[in-house]
Structure 1
Amino acid sequence: MRKMYTLLILLGLSVVAKAQQENQFTQFQHYKLGFNPAYAGNAEGISIAALVRQQWLGIKGAPQVQLVSLNMPVLNNRVGIGANFARASIGVTNQYTAELAYAYRIPAPRGHLNLGLMTSIRNFQMNFSELEGSQPIANDGAIPAGLQSKYVPNFGAGIYYNAQNFYIGLSSPRLLNVNIDLSDGSGTISRETPHFFLMTGVLIPLGDNIKLQPQTLLKYVKGAPFDADANVSLIFNERVTMGVSYRLGGSRATGLGEAVSGLFSVQMGKNLLIGMSYDATLSELRKFNNGSAEVVLRYFINGRSSGDVIYDNPRFFF
């Protein structure tokens, strides 16, 4: 039987979703294409990444995400193309997203400036037959029966500058205020809200075999509290990366933020990178869950996975 916590979470997140609708990732540095279409083609060959996130372990119906992302340069590296496919769920709701990205690369001082466009389509689903209540749900005429779904198109844009030891990008994956109501009523209750992201990072050599890499992702949504993820990592021998991350948000009562996280990734040969993270919850929800976890796999075809390491060509800064 579903725990009462699930219902409380759904009610709370239904309010938050009016402002913060995009998924959050502790290892955002491995999924830049999902935030900024201008990142497309910023790799040596065909880059394929798979990421799984399970939020709030131990709570049934808690948010979870599974996705696949791929991108590659074409036309002598002057253009980048990419695609993302994701499934996100929380409680009785599911969201399926397909995105296509295009980026044009312009030579700039010490690196490249990329201009990107993204088109997306989302399928929102809610299976009301899975709801549970203290009274028979069928007796409440305000609650629909069965499965309801809706397809929603949108588009976004971004700009991304990449140098040998520095990157910065500004983007909004979805710019249209599209109606996402599942009902056929005349009024509009909910819409997709534009999210704006500013990401940046720098690589600082500390010696022959160790580098320091701080990165941050700033998030802005009109009408919502400012949010941000920041991490700092040490890279050893261009193979092993260890770091910590901090996420704003959470409870205003405690003021501690949403989560603090540990990061770890390892380069397995030339082509494969494996990364993982664990979030310790800082808000009041820490009493009811065992944290959140992510696992990412990234593989390169006709190239090499450079992890978080800088190579002479600024294209390889991840």
Structure 2
Amino acid sequence: MRRVYLFIVCIGLGLAAKAQQENQFTQFQHYKLGFNPAYAGNAEGISIAALVRSQWLGIKGAPQVQLLSLNMPVLNNRVGIGANFARASIGVTQQYTAELAYAYRIPAPRGHLNLGLMTSIRNFQMNFDALQGSQPLTNDSAIPVGLQSKYVPNFGAGIYYDAQNFYIGVSSPRLLNVNVDLADGNGTISREVPHFFLMTGVLIPLGAKIKFQPQTLLKYVKGAPFDADANLSLIFNDRLTVGVSYRLGGSRVTGLGEAVSGMFNVQMGKNIMLGMSYDATLSELRRYNNGSVEVVLRYFINGRSSGDVIYENPRFFF
């Protein structure tokens, strides 16, 4: 029997059918712009973040993500702009995404209400020559050959409210139900479907040097099971953060969810933050992998508001 890594290919195709197509991140609080364009400009300065995620260590062809995110306020903080560049891979499939975000900031009680728009273009690739089998794959004419690729444009929108110690946002980065079939033919097999996100968090002082921060990201896709990430963090001296996170999903048999995670963030100086997390898989897939790891590095360049006020606070936690 031909031993092709079909389960990875099927996962990739399934993501284009009725499932969660967007990448998931344990440290989603450091990549809000990827979920909600209305977050653009909320860092009160130039914020540059790089994030790397390796999922299901030990499984060949498991999901990998590398991304770079930039956002900043302009026009005296009335407008925010941002950009994301990401590469994601699973099995023989690769996905390159470029996004531009715009947000208009409206003064609101105790904070700002941001209205955001996002435009994006994605390049889907599948390299069938990378498949491996116990027999020559050319013996089966049903298996495509070579590299197949397609560019897909889309747009999204979001709303984000940020107060001093609280935030909440609703968004959908991609609203068009566009065709993502790689091969030409009659009919449509797979589409990019809209994803809807609700994120919220609050910062609660517990003393002079300790703060408590619960955060959650709810995810909804029509035709797919409801999904969510929730994390609880303790912030010490505004420099060191330790926390735990839990992700729904995974197996309906065990009912334990998809993963439980540990997080560690440290602010190294005024402008640099380093964050790390490790996910322990809870589903039956835990027998075949060694968990997932994620590293984020964020650099902040102080911005200037109206007048001569310089923002000193990088607001890494919001």
Task: Check whether the contact 1:272–1:305 (CA below 8 A) recurs between aligned residues.
Answer: no
Identity of aligned residues (%): 84
Offset at residue 142 of structure 1 (A): 1.8
Q: Which residue of 1 aligns with 2:30?
A: 30
Q: Which residue of 2 aligns with 1:11?
A: 10
Q: Which residue identity does 2:13 align to in structure 1?
A: S
Task: Check whether the contact 1:10–1:91 (CA below 8 A) recurs between aligned residues.
Answer: yes
How many residues end up aligned between the 2 structures?
Answer: 306
What is the CA–CA distance in structure 2 between the aligned matches of 1:236 and 1:95, rounded to whole Å? 38
Q: Which residue identity does 1:15 align to in structure 2?
A: G
What is the CA–CA distance in structure 1 between the aligned matches of 2:145 and 2:4, rounded to whole Å? 23
Offset at residue 12 of structure 1 (A): 4.0
* Residues 1-318 of structure 1: pairs in structure 2 closer than 5 A: 6-18=5-17, 19-303=19-303, 304-308=313-317, 318=318
Query: What 5-or-longer segments of structure 2 have no aligned partner?
Result: 304-312
Offset at residue 15 of structure 1 (A): 2.5
What is the CA–CA distance in structure 2 between the aligned matches of 1:108 and 1:307, rounded to whole Å? 22
Secondary structure of 1:250 counterpart = strand
Offset at residue 302 of structure 1 (A): 2.6
Q: Deviations over 1:174-230 (max 9, x none)?
A: 000000000110110000000000000000010000000000000000010000000
Q: Which residue identity does 2:226 align to in structure 1?
A: F
Offset at residue 6 of structure 1 (A): 4.7
Offset at residue 13 of structure 1 (A): 4.9
Q: Which residue identity does 2:10 align to in structure 1?
A: L
Q: Which residue of 2 aligns with 1:315?
A: none
**Alignment RMSD (CA, Å):** 1.2
Distance 1:90 1:163, change over 3 A: same
What is the CA–CA distance in structure 1 between the aligned matches of 2:65 and 2:192, rounded to whole Å? 18
Q: Which residue identity does 1:216 align to in structure 2?
A: T
Decide which moves more: 130-139 or 207-216. 130-139
Task: Check whether the contact 1:6–1:59 (CA below 8 A) recurs between aligned residues.
Answer: no
Secondary structure of 2:33 counterpart = helix
Distance 1:131 1:213, change over 3 A: same
What is the CA–CA distance in structure 2 between the aligned matches of 1:134 and 1:219, rounded to whole Å? 40
What is the CA–CA distance in structure 1 between the aligned matches of 2:4 and 2:37, rounded to whole Å? 36
- What TM-score, normalized to structure 1? 0.94
What is the CA–CA distance in structure 2 between the aligned matches of 1:6 and 1:232, rounded to whole Å? 37
Q: Which residue identity does 1:21 align to in structure 2?
A: Q
Task: Check whether the contact 1:298–1:305 (CA below 8 A) recurs between aligned residues.
Answer: no
Task: Check whether the contact 1:278–1:294 (CA below 8 A) recurs between aligned residues.
Answer: yes
* Deviant stretches of 4+, over 4 Å: none
Q: Which residue identity does 2:207 align to in structure 1?
A: G
Offset at residue 67 of structure 1 (A): 0.1
- What TM-score, normalized to structure 2? 0.94
What is the CA–CA distance in structure 1 between the aligned matches of 2:156 and 2:114, rounded to whole Å? 14
